[in-house]
Chains A and B, each alone.
Chain A
Amino acid sequence: MTCEEIGELLPDYFEGSLKAPQDDLVERHIEECADCREEVAIWKKLSLLPVEQPSAGSRERFEAMLDAYQTGRNDKASAGFVPEKRRSAWNWLRSPAGAVAWSAALLVMGIFAGNYWGSRTTHSNAGQDEIAAMQIELTNMKQLVVLSMLQQQSAGERLQAVSYSRREDQLDPQVMSALVHTLRYDGSVDVRLAALDALSRHGAQPQVHKGVVDALQEQQSPLVQVALIDLMVEWRDPDAAQRLRNFVQTPNLNPTVRQRADWALSKLN
């Protein structure tokens, strides 16, 4: 056999996977051929190269990375919906009472300014525009108050924030997503239920609709689960039946919740 032919067999020979009779062919060849013998020798010699050890701090570094990563994720999950800059810019809004007072002051200022302009230039549109602008600003302000209050440590204050948000007919998309976020991740069952209640009036918004329907799979509290199921029936969500069928497959489901889901399924079909 030529060296070329042997060369094709060598990798299998290195690996020890070459069977007789080819195995014998290679061995006979390398006895006679110095070049091929050296190739086998150098392959074997590679075992001389030591197995190196990673640096001592490697495991600690990994642990630190894992910790940082998981903390980062949790932070994002619990408070990530208001951008960092916005939060620090509105830090002074921290106290909910102060924020409400500030909104009220603005409102009063707006009314005075409006009256003043209104009386001075009776038929001028400029004054009315100004008032409209003021009102928009005030609405924005209230939304910011809600956003800021939803971040509070105390469940009572978050609850209040949710009820403030109910006073508005039109909700800012940011507030809506904050409420959906509250529904999904808030630690308190009461706050979650209130958020669901507030959102139930905005089911026509696709964003809200989807957020609410998606929340079912993640809820742990039977109360919230039942409320969500009821709302899905009320909305006659097109995906509801499919989602509920998946949902009842969940192991360890609370019997009352399962009953409610079955009832909902019978309603929807």
Chain B
Amino acid sequence: MKEQERRAETENDQAMKLSPDEDLMLEVRNGAGETLGVLFDRYHAPLYNFYSKLTGDRTLSDDLVQEVFLRILKYRQSYQPGTPFRAWIYQIARNARVDHYRKTPRHITFEPHMVAPVMPKDSAQQLEETELLHRALMQMPEEKREILVLSRFQELRYEEIARLLGCELGTVKTRIHRAVQELRQNFKQLERGLAPREAAPAVVKTIPPRRFGNDM
């Protein structure tokens, strides 16, 4: 009897792990809060990366991920059946970030913990390139950085991004192109600035922090 129950339970677990996000969210909506755990497993790492690449702040990213799941619980009744869950959760994620900055005005500074923490252990050159790239990205206005993060790291399709940002598909493509252009400019400038003192890891301090206005 016990054995059977256990087997039924594992089967249930497995079925749950294969269910589409939307079905799981409907269960959460109907009161099965524990089902949210499966969605957490699926989404917390991508969301963390979305935030950490966007804000460069690991602690804040952890906090915001938790906030997203708390909001899902609070507002689960507003999830409409048929809505793609991915679009919905990213919408919540964006709002959580905006609300956070509304409460705590942003001070973007290059603190040591904000530099990409885990660097690939390949060649020294690649290490340096990665760091430059990270900084080139962080120098961009958040709006442009966001569209790059969404398209390059979150693997959202352009249509999904268009829906998320509330703009046309063509606009998304134009904005991605412009963002890539700017990233390239920043990267080149950093490369040039670095050239004379190649192996200096302390460049972090030499780059003036860029202030972002409330242009989001």
**A interface, CB within 8 angstroms of B:** 7-8, 10-12, 14-15, 38-39, 42-43, 45-55, 58-59, 61-63, 65-66, 69-70
- Give bound CA distance, A50 to B58, whole Å: 14
| Contacting residue for B137 out of A49, A51, A63, CB 8 A | A49
Task: Say if the beta carbon of B120 comes within 8 Å of chain A.
Answer: yes
In the assembled complex, B17 has its CB within 8 A of some CB on chain A: no
Q: Mark B60-83, 1 if CB is under 8 A from A, else 0.
A: 011001100110010000000000
Residue numbers in A under 8 Å from B97 (CB-CB): none
Is A45 a contact of B33 with CB atoms below 8 Å?
Answer: no
Q: A-side binding surface: helix, strand, loop or mixed?
A: helix
- Beyond A48-B130, A53-B45, A69-B33, whether A10 also contacts B117 by CB under 8 A is no
User: Is A46 within 8 A of B49, CB to CB?
Assistant: no
Q: Which of B2-10, B176-184, B206-214 contacts A (4 or more CB under 8 A)?
A: B176-184
| Contact A8 B65, CB 8 Å, known A42-B183, A49-B130, A69-B33 | no
Q: In the complex, are the beta carbons of A52 and B184 less than 8 A apart?
A: no
Among residues of A, the one whose C-beta sits closest to the C-beta of B126 is: A48
Whether B44 and A54, one on each chain, are in contact in the complex, defined by CB atoms closer than 8 angstroms, is yes
Q: Are A14 and B34 in contact (CB under 8 A)?
A: no
Check B66–A62 contact: CB distance below 8 A. yes
Shortest CB-to-CB span from B84 to chain A, Å, is 18
Q: Is the CB of A54 within 8 A of B48?
A: yes
Chosen A-B contacts, 23 in total, with CB atoms closer than 8 Å, are: A7-B177, A10-B180, A11-B151, A11-B158, A39-B177, A42-B184, A45-B129, A46-B152, A48-B126, A49-B137, A50-B130, A51-B49, A52-B48, A52-B49, A52-B118, A53-B118, A54-B45, A61-B66, A62-B37, A62-B40, A62-B44, A69-B33, A69-B73
Nearest-neighbor residue (CB-CB) of A12 within chain B:
B173
Contacts of B69 in A (CB 8 A): 62, 65-66
Q: How far is the CA of A111 from the CA of B158 in the complex (A)?
A: 81
Pairs A-B, 3 closest by C-beta atoms: A54-B48, A11-B173, A11-B176
- List B contacts of A10 (CB < 8 A): 177, 180
**Which B residue sits closest to A70, measured CB to CB?**
B33
Tally of B interface residues using CB under 8 Å: 47
Taking a contact as CB atoms under 8 Å apart, the answer to whether A46 and B148 are in contact is yes
Known: A39-B181, A65-B66. A58 touches B126 (CB 8 A): no
- Determine which of A15, A39, A52 lies in contact with B180 in the assembled complex, contact meaning CB atoms within 8 Å: A39
Query: How distant is the Cα of A11 from the Cα of B174 in the complex, in angstroms?
Result: 8
What chain B residues lie within 8 Å of A45 (beta carbons)?
129, 133
Known: A43-B180, A50-B119. A65 touches B133 (CB 8 A): no
Interface presence of B92 (CB below 8 A): no
Residues from 152 to 204 in B contacting A, C-beta threshold 8 Å: 152-153, 157-158, 172-174, 176-177, 180-181, 183-184, 187-188
Shortest beta-carbon distance, A238 to chain B, in Å? 27
A200–B153 CA distance with the chains assembled, in angstroms: 62
Select the residue from A54, A58, A65 with max chain B CB neighbours within 10 A. Answer: A54
Task: Check if B144 is an interface residue, CB within 8 A of chain A.
Answer: no
Residues in chain A near residue B40, CB distance under 8 A: 59, 62
Q: Is the pair B49, A48 in contact by a Cβ cutoff of 8 Å?
A: no
Contact across chains for A66 and B34 when beta carbons are under 8 A apart: yes
* A82 and B45 alpha carbons, distance in the complex (Å): 41
- A49 near B134 with CB under 8 A, answer yes
Give the shortest distance, in Å, between B64 (CB) and chain A (any CB). 11
Nearest residue (CB) in B for A62 is: B40
A11-B70 contact in complex given A50-B116, A69-B33, C-beta closer than 8 Å: no
Q: A11-B177, A52-B49 are in contact. List 4 more A-B contacts (CB 8 A).
A: A62-B37, A62-B66, A65-B69, A69-B73
- Chain B residues, CB < 8 A from A49: 53, 116, 130, 133-134, 137, 153
Q: Which residues of chain A are within 8 angstroms of B33 by Cβ–Cβ distance?
A: 66, 69-70
Partner of A39 from B48, B49, B117, B184 at Cβ < 8 Å: B184
A48 close to B120 (CB less than 8 A): yes
Q: Are A52 and B133 in contact (CB under 8 A)?
A: no
CA distance A114 to B192 in the complex (A): 97
Quote the shortest CB–CB distance from B62 to chain A (angstroms): 5
Given contacts A49-B153, A65-B66, contact A42 B180 (CB under 8 A): yes
The residues of B that contact A46 with a CB separation of less than 8 Å are: 133, 137, 148, 152-153
Query: In the complex where A14-B176, A69-B73 touch, is A50 in contact with B66 (Cβ < 8 A)?
Result: no
